[in-house]
C-alpha cells in the first residue's frame, strides 16, 4: 500500500513540470524529469513535517536555490548564449517550481505519506550552524575543484572551449562565487536536515541524493537541444560527485551525533 501511494506521489507530482512540453514536445522526457524530482522528495514526504505548509517550506527552498538559482548562475558563467533568456528562465522556473512544490506538499498530506514515528532531529547550536554552513560552502568549492577539474580536463573540455577564458574574466571572484553556491545549497536543505525524522547517517544520504537529483539528474533529463546524450551523462556523474558529496557533508556536520543513553549503559555495566 505504501509503495502504491509513493508511486502515485511521484507520477502525479511529476506531471506539473510537463507544462514545458506544450512548446517543445517530448512529453515523456518532461514527465520522467518530473518523476525524478518528486522521487527526490519522497524522504521528505515520508519522514518530514506532517502538515502541507511545513512540507512546502522544506521543498520550495530546494527548488528555488538548488534547481533554479544555482544552475542558472552556472549557465550564466559557462554558457554565455543563455544570457539572452536569463530573465525568462528565472521567471518560468520560479513559477513552475513553486507550483510543483505546492502540489508535492499537498499530495504528501492527501496520500497520508508522513509518518508519526521516527528519530527526532537535533541540529547544532545557532552559532555553530553559521560556521558549519560556511565550512560546507568551502567543502563544495573543494569538491568542485577536484571533481569538476577532472571532468573538464578529460571529458567536457570539447564542449566548453572558452571555459578557461570565461573563468579568467571573473578572476578572483570565481571561487567566492562557487563557495556562495555551496552555501546557498546548504541553506536550501537546512529545513530538510532539521525536520527529517531519520538517523544522522540516513539524513546525510537522503540530503545528498536530494541535492544531486534536483541539482543535476532531473534537470539534465529535461529536453535541452544544446546538450547531447553523452554530455548529459558526463554531467550527471560530475554533479553526483559534487552535489551528493556536499549533501552528505552537510547532513553529517549540521546534525548532532545522537547522545548516548547513559542510564542504559550503567544498567548494562551493572548487569
Average pLDDT of span 57-62: 98
Is the pLDDT confidence value at 33 over 80? yes
Count other C-beta atoms under 10 Å from residue 110's C-beta.
13
Dist CA 82 CA 95 (whole Å) = 19
Average pLDDT of span 245-259: 90
Mean pLDDT of the chain: 90
Dist CA 215 CA 243 (whole Å) = 7
Is the pLDDT confidence value at 265 over 80? no
Dist CA 49 CA 226 (whole Å) = 39
Instruction: Identify the weakest region by mean pLDDT among 46-50, 73-77, 261-265.
Output: 261-265
Work out how many domains the chain is built from and give that number.
1
- How many CA within 13 A on the CB side of residue 21? 17
**Eight-class DSSP state of 242:** I
Is the pLDDT confidence value at 121 over 80? no
- What grid cell was written down for 198? 531519520
Dist CA 128 CA 258 (whole Å) = 17
Task: Give me the domain span that covers residue 120.
Answer: 2-270
The more confidently predicted of residues 1 and 264 is 1
- What grid cell was written down for 70? 544555482
Is the pLDDT confidence value at 266 over 50? no
Helix, strand or coil for residue 160?
A: coil
Dist CA 55 CA 35 (whole Å) = 18
Task: Output the pLDDT for position 1.
Answer: 62
Task: Output the pLDDT for position 259.
Answer: 63
Q: What is the tens place of the pLDDT at every residue in 64-100?
A: 999 999 999 888 888 877 888 888 889 999 999 999 9
Task: Output the pLDDT for position 162.
Answer: 86
Is the pLDDT confidence value at 51 over 60? yes
Average pLDDT of span 19-29: 85
The more confidently predicted of residues 267 and 91 is 91
Dist CA 87 CA 93 (whole Å) = 10
Our CA angle for 131, 137, 142, nearest 5°, is 125
CB 207 within 8 A of CB 247: yes
Is the pLDDT confidence value at 268 over 50? no
Amino acid at each position: 500500500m505504501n509503495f502504491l501511494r509513493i508511486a502515485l506521489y511521484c507520477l502525479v507530482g511529476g506531471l506539473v513540470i510537463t507544462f514545458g512540453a506544450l512548446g517543445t514536445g517530448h512529453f515523456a522526457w518532461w514527465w520522467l524529469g518530473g518523476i525524478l524530482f518528486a522521487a527526490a522528495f519522497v524522504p521528505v514526504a515520508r519522514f518530514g513535517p506532517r502538515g502541507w505548509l511545513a512540507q512546502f517550506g522544506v521543498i520550495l527552498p530546494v527548488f528555488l536555490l538548488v534547481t533554479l538559482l544555482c544552475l542558472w548562475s552556472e549557465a550564466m558563467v559557462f554558457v554565455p548564449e543563455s544570457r539572452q533568456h536569463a530573465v525568462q528562465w528565472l521567471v518560468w522556473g520560479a513559477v513552475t517550481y513553486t507550483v510543483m512544490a505546492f502540489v508535492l506538499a499537498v499530495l504528501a498530506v492527501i496520500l497520508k505519506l508522513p509518518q508519526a514515528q521516527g528519530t527526532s532531529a537535533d541540529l547544532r547550536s545557532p552559532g555553530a550552524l553559521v560556521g558549519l554552513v560556511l565550512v560546507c560552502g568551502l567543502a563544495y568549492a573543494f569538491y568542485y575543484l577536484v571533481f569538476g577539474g577532472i571532468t573538464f580536463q578529460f571529458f567536457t573540455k570539447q564542449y566548453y572551449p572558452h571555459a578557461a577564458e570565461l573563468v579568467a574574466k571573473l578572476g578572483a571572484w570565481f571561487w567566492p562565487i562557487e563557495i556562495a553556491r555551496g552555501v546557498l545549497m546548504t541553506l536550501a536543505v537546512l529545513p530538510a536536515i532539521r525536520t527529517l525524522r531519520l538517523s544522522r547517517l540516513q539524513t546525510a544520504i537522503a540530503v545528498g541524493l536530494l541535492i544531486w537529483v534536483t541539482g543535476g539528474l532531473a534537470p539534465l533529463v529535461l529536453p535541452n537541444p544544446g546538450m547531447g546524450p553523452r554530455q548529459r551523462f558526463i554531467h550527471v556523474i560530475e554533479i553526483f560527485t559534487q552535489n551528493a558529496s556536499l549533501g552528505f557533508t552537510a547532513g553529517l556536520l549540521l546534525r548532532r551525533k545522537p547522545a548516548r543513553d547513559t542510564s542504559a549503559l550503567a544498567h548494562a555495566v551493572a548487569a
